[in-house]
Amino acid sequence: MNKINHIAIIMDGNGRWGKKKGKSRNFGHINGIKVIEKLVKDSIKIKIPIITFYTFSTENWRRPKREISFLFKLIDHYFNKEIDNLVKNNIKINIIGNIKILPQKVRTRLIESMTRTKRCKKILINLAINYGSKDEIINATRILKRKKGNVSIKNFEKNLHT
Ligand code: IPE
Ligand code: MG
């Protein structure tokens, strides 16, 4: 195994890139997917077992509605089109973040993608969508409290999205 266990990537500049090419921000987002695919392929090649992409942050809700809607459509279409290939290539998808408030269709698609790839072993792709680290801590704490579990690192980790 490669010495690097996990890389995390904050996606940025896709919109600006699209504009710079004389096209739209959305053109940049579409091409951003190709970059992700390349990064995943290369990570597999050099045997990095986990890769996390910060895809949509809690701050991104401040964007124009049309852009947000386009981004979620893009995610929905991508998984609809590629899910069989992901399974075939042994790529596991995990979503971290609060997806409860996402459009129902997208949410269902994401859950389906996690379920279908849950036994895949070659690489784990975490997609942070509407993810906030404080949200994750609060969420884990709530579960711990509800289960009346011991406050220990082990119990805490069990309730993290990852
Ligand atoms: C990253 O690119 C993709 C998302 C966060 C959805 P940006 O959308 O942040 O592009 P810029 O930074 O505005 O150019
Ligand atoms: Mg940005």
pLDDT tens digit sequence for 63-85? 999 999 999 999 999 999 999 99
Measured distance CA(88)–CA(86) in Å, rounded: 5
Contact call for residues 144 and 70 (beta carbons, < 8 A):
no
Count other Cβ atoms within 10 Å, centred on residue 80: 12
Does the structure show a pLDDT above 90 at 126? yes
Looking at the chain, the number of H-run helices and the number of E-run strands are: 6, 4
pLDDT at 139: 84
Tell which one of 9, 10, 12, 72 to mutate to probe ligand 1, the residue whose CB is within 8 A of the most ligand atoms: 12
Measured distance CA(28)–CA(20) in Å, rounded: 9
pLDDT at 1: 54
Give distance in angstroms: CA of 46 to centre of ligand 2.
Answer: 28
Give the global pTM. 0.89
User: pLDDT by residue (tens digit) across 83-109?
Assistant: 999 999 999 999 999 999 999 999 999
Which two three-digit tokens encode residue 62?
């401040």
pLDDT at 93: 98
Residue with CA at minimum distance from ligand 1 atom 9 = 12
User: pLDDT by residue (tens digit) across 28-58?
Assistant: 999 999 999 999 999 999 999 999 999 999 8
